[in-house]
Amino acid sequence: MIPGVPADSQAYLNGEFVRLQDAKISVLDRGFIFGDGIYEVVPAYEGRPFRLQEHLARLARSLEKVRIASPFDRDGWAGLVRELIARSATPSCVVYLQVTRGVARRDHGFPGEAVTPTVFGMVSPFTRPTADARENGQSLISIPDERWLHCDIKSVSLLGNVLAKQAAVDAGADEVVQFRDGLLTEAASANIWVVSGGRLIGPPRDHRILEGIRYGLMAELAEEAGVPFEMRDVPRAEVEAADELLISSAAREVLPITRLDGRPVGNGKPGPVYAKLRAGYDARIAALLA
């Protein structure tokens, strides 16, 4: 038994559905040896995947950037996601997909011979953010961004993100805000947004951040709510002086950040821009379930 994993949880591995605790890969899989692979995470509400096509587009981009041939076309991936949801005992769930370069002799260069990618998928329960998180917000600490310079690839090589998240855990905080060369990048596993003068501001979608699927959604929600939106470099001083700070990800949706480094953000309470974007987000979920 694996602690915290129900015995009947199913997974997909290389063409077969098996119990998650029975799924096995070779110790020479390049994902295990080198972290040579990519992943994607798709949330589903009552069995309906949210922004599935955007998630699959990012999956395709990541595969292309690391030069792994996609084992499925777009319809094949969508079918796998829906089959995993159907086999799950929890229709509100998160679907995790992972593709590695496959099994080969340990050598840093790509295998010279043809290697079949390893494809893995599983489902985890998904609980929407609590009323407390929505009403009282998140507490974050700031740290230097010490990760690699291809954060736009959703790579399974996540040690830098793991260490960043642990820094938050050690400090008793919910997450981190990272800065590289004095500029805002992102959290350990989420995007960070600044509200200043009624404007929503996000860092550029470049190699320094992973473009969360909620990135495009936040821009859409801002437009619908009449909130001006900017995408540009954000200096640390602007983050620290923000009227509001927000965090977004598949699991968090969009939440307010009310404390940074032990100090209140703005007046220490969720602000009006958050309220507008939160309402828009909830409306999108309601439309999905209608």
From the list 26, 23, 21, the residue with the least C-alpha distance to 5 is 21
Question: In terms of DSSP bridges, do strands 138-144 and 229-231 run parallel, antiparallel, or are they unpaired?
Answer: unpaired
Please name the amino acid found at residue 48: R
Beta strands in 93-205 (DSSP E): 93-100, 118-125, 138-144, 175-180, 183-184, 191-196, 199-202
> Hunting for tokens 């979608």 — which residue is that?
205
Please report which helix (H) or strand (E) contains residue 56, including its range.
helix 52-66
Marked catalytic residue, from 24, 65, 154, 276: 154
154 is catalytic: yes
* CA nearest to 168, candidates 146, 188, 182, 183: 188
Instruction: State the Cα–Cα distance between residues 149 and 145, nearest whole angstrom.
Output: 10
The catalytic residue positions are: 154
